[in-house]
Homo-oligomer: A and B are copies of this chain.
Amino acid sequence: MSRTAGTDAAGTEVRTQADTHVRTDAPAPDPRRGRPRNAAADTAIIEAVLRMIEDGVSIGELSMERIAREAGVGKATVYRRWPGKSELLLDVMRSLDTDIPPPAGESVRDDLVDIIEFLRIRGLAKRNSALLRTIVTHVKAQPALWREYHETVVQARREVLLSVLRRGMACGEIRADRDIDLLADLFVGPVLSRALLHEWADLPEGLAEEIVDTVLYGVRPRA
């Protein structure tokens, strides 16, 4: 969890988490007065959403009202933190994100395997499997949100992959006569299409290595 709630160090900051939401105006008349927000409420709400989705509740069936109920929280407490369902879901999605570890940097092939393996694990992890799919599926239906998520999270990861590929091109391990974005998709696509499309299909243990090696060496018979 790269994004926890208000019990931060460096006390001087804001109220709690949901301050992706600018608050441009607001005279901000000395925060840190009155009763402080309950960090437990934040997590209770997010946790409630996660739980419900895991239990197969479709996103369409999620209402702010129901979420509050399920979280054992007043409706106002939810609206105090997020302006609407979409923003809440975006944070729920973010709460699932682990930072991708930087590539080891020795073998390009091994780095690729690590990256794909990271993807595979993400698509599998108990929580993430059903969860990510459901939420992503929904957020994707809202172009603005999806775009934000894509630029925030997806692009960052892709950049890691691209840098490895560039390194490979530079040192001759990767052919340089192809569009680098295409190459990236060749590695990533197979995992994504399995995880997002086939769903029930599982992502077996050796998948990452198999993909990387097959893509590297080609589908034609070995020489």
Contacts and interface: CB of A to CB of B under 8 A. Distances in A.
A181 to B, nearest CB: 8
Interface residues of A, number: 50
Interface in A42-78: 58-60
Tell which of A59, A172, A186 has the most Cβ of chain B within 10 Å.
A186
Q: How many copies of this chain? A: 2
Contact of A214 (B172, B176, B178): B178
A190 B188 CA distance: 7
A178 B210 CA distance: 8
A191 interface: yes
Nearest to A134: B141
Interface in A96-129: none
Interface in A103-161: 133-134, 137-138, 140-143, 146, 150, 154
Nearest to A58: B141
A11 interface: no
A178 B220 CA distance: 11
Interface of A is mostly: helix
A133 to B, nearest CB: 8
Contact of A174 (B189, B193, B216, B220): B220
Contacts of A217: 218, 220
A223 B220 CA distance: 14
A140 B137 contact: yes
Interface string A205-223: 0010011001111111111
A85 B142 CA distance: 20
Nearest to A172: B221
Contacts of A154: 197
A86 to B, nearest CB: 11
18 contacts: A58-B142, A60-B141, A137-B137, A138-B141, A143-B199, A173-B221, A174-B220, A177-B222, A178-B214, A182-B190, A185-B193, A186-B189, A186-B214, A189-B191, A192-B192, A193-B193, A216-B218, A218-B220
